[in-house]
Structure 1
Amino acid sequence: MSTIPVYIPKDRLQDYVVTPAPSAEQMDRYHVVQLEESLLENLGPDHVFDPEQSTFVTGVFRLANRQRAAIETALATALRAGMPYTLPDGNEDVIQTRPDEDEANLLGLAIEARDRRAAGDTDASMALRARSNTVYSLTPEQMIALTDAAKAFKQGLLAKSWQLKDAITAAEAAGDREAIQAVVWEASASAA
């Protein structure tokens, strides 16, 4: 097994079990520890300095949490971007799917459309304002198709985020830094 020198800041030394005990000179600022590379990732969430790379190395726990946060940010961004959709009149627009602003509106439109369809209503009198600020008039059937597509859009994004976060968790459990770093949210070609 190869070893790597790790510099642990003096004020963080108590967080680690270090043997042999550091000398007075080493305790002055840093303690240099020769560790097996496989143990480097298990030092915990703090950053440690790797002099061979002349950089600070992030612990696996912190790296995994950063990747999960990046996935959450990408999910929120995708939901804010909305769902590209071809309206019944052939126009391309974006249906807004922001969780705090639009989700309740879409749910209300879906319920109303189903109620109106059950009552036999087929008029194109349901209004929907898309991201372009254009108001479209839809029949209940068209509104149901649109809101079902928006629901599937969100469910697809959630499933993607769960799959990526599960991959991060598996890589974290294996202590695989490279696998954690490889887990990224790829924007779809259809994203607006």
Structure 2
Amino acid sequence: MMTQPDLFAAATGQGRAPVPAEPAAAPGPVDLRAILERLARMCERPRYSFMVLNLIAQAGAGTGSAGPYVREGGRHVPVRDWLCDALLPVGARDPRRRAIEGRVRRELACARTLPADPAQAEQVVEDEVRRRVRQSGRTNVSRAVSELVRAGLVRRHYQGYRVDHENRGAQRQAVYTITEEARAALGAG
């Protein structure tokens, strides 16, 4: 298994200040407080990164490894989509989400594809909003995982068609593995 180095190691000048590189593991035992301090120091959005870390720990409870698919009910969902869906309730009251709902409703009404039944119309709007939010949420999850990789709490590789590889593409899906120190601190092991 090969792991991918951080995709966002150097800031690209897109409004983000560079985050100083730190050693992956701090000396001594790591507890929850130490993980929170590390996330606060190394992550642009430490609370979001902590939620992603907890969800990865939950999805990989038995092995510490989540992905490339997570079983949800009777189906298999790519791990990034599963993480996005799990984080959807957090942004339900966000003004940006409400703006997306309004835009979707207007677009569907202008295209005359909104059902006349109010319950069906709400479901169509909700499905389209979920699709759009998931699309942007995948980027947010990837960024948070990159910060977790940089913090030394998660390892990432890509698994899929033919061989595992450190780079994505060629029908490969992400696999996130929580480190032993993070598992111990979170009580996930």
TM-score using structure 2 length: 0.29
Bigger relative CO (Cα 8 Å, ≥ 6 apart):
2
| Bigger-Rg structure (1/2) | 1
